[in-house]
Structure 1
């Protein structure tokens, strides 16, 4: 399936920039209208529809759209964003175990500029799962590269936190 055109992507970006200026129904209608320009079953369209629903408070409606987009072969950065956003939505809906599993698998799926986002959402999911040490560990792993000093030490301490304490 060919990716959307650059002109379509620019219109999409402009629409997302207007999110806070539009009422939710108008925003969703405009997203649905724009994504209808793509072929039926297009994973990019499904991902954008999911994200729009998530961003306007319809998390329960977003989850099946994220799942369908991923199942249909969403790729590239949007695939990783879909996993992060799906995991966040699942956590918000109380499905913490699946959220942790998705984000843990995503950590091993490769590395890019979204690594810190994966870690941040994993920290939230671990906290909700009652795994506070793991949550602090994930947060510190994301923070460590941004420190002006002590990156190695903080990373080492963070990884040690993820391990169960010695008896």
Structure 2
């Protein structure tokens, strides 16, 4: 192999950098081609799962996300895979499972910038579940955690509007 040629990881990064201007099915085909022969690599599973999602084929994305997560990803990609899998589950009509997945990750080691993204997806999922008030609390917690000014007042107002029933949505990890 030519040492100056980009490896498949670098090439996939380039594909994603230009994906917005391309047909999703073309992006999927290119990523499938790039990961061919790397089926045992968790990163390959993660990338192909994301490509399935991007092409609107969420039902095909779930299994590779789960393979990627069980195969071991670096912490950042692990967090991305959790968020993306939860989004996939939500799109597949499995909002409760999606919410549980994100909640578990938020209670563990999720850090910025993924904590805010996870909270956003959790809020959307809670809306799907008809939990509008909890969705607003989760979204405001994420906003509070990203504020450089007014975080204190927003936090105090959040305490005023939350009660014991909202306690399961209060999480660290921001």
CA distance in 2, matches of 1:163, 1:156: 15
Calculate the TM-score normalised by the size of structure 1: 0.85
User: What residue in structure 1 maps to residue 170 of structure 2?
Assistant: none
Q: How far apart are residue 140 of structure 1 and its match?
A: 0.4
Per-residue CA deviations over 1:128-156 (Å, capped at 9, x if unaligned) read 11111210011001111344532122123
Cα RMSD after superposing both structures: 2.0
Unaligned runs of 5+ in 2: 1-5, 167-174
Give TM-score scaled by structure 2 length.
Answer: 0.82
Is the counterpart of residue 13 in structure 1 residue 3 in structure 2? no
Give the C-alpha shift of residue 162 in structure 1: 6.3
Separation (CA, whole Å) in 1 of partners of 2:108 and 2:100: 12
**Distance (Å, rounded) in 1 between the aligned partners of 2:129 and 2:71:** 30
Give the distance between the partners of 1:144 and 1:84, measured in 2 at CA. 20
Q: Distance in 2 between matches of 1:72 and 1:42?
A: 7
Report what 1:123 is aligned to. Answer: 123
**C-alpha separation in 2, matches of 1:21 and 1:9:** 20
Cα 1:125–1:110 change in 2 (3 A) is same
Residue in 1 that maps onto 2:171:
none
> C-alpha distance in 2, partners of 1:142/1:162?
18
Structure 1: where are the runs of 5+ without partners? 1-5
1:26 aligns to what SS in structure 2? helix
Are 1:93 and 2:105 matched, yes or no?
Answer: no
Report the CA distance shift for 1:77/1:147 in structure 2 as closer, same or farther (over 3 A): closer
* Alpha carbons 1:134, 1:162 under 8 Å: kept: no
1:142 is paired with a residue whose SS is helix
8 Å CA contact 1:49–1:62 kept in 2: the answer is yes
- The number of residues matched between the two structures is 159
Secondary structure in 2 matching 1:110? coil
Question: 2: CA distance between counterparts of 1:156 and 1:66?
Answer: 38
Preserved CA contact (<8 Å) 1:133 1:162: no
Answer yes or no: is the 8 Å Cα contact 2:62–2:88 preserved in 1.
yes
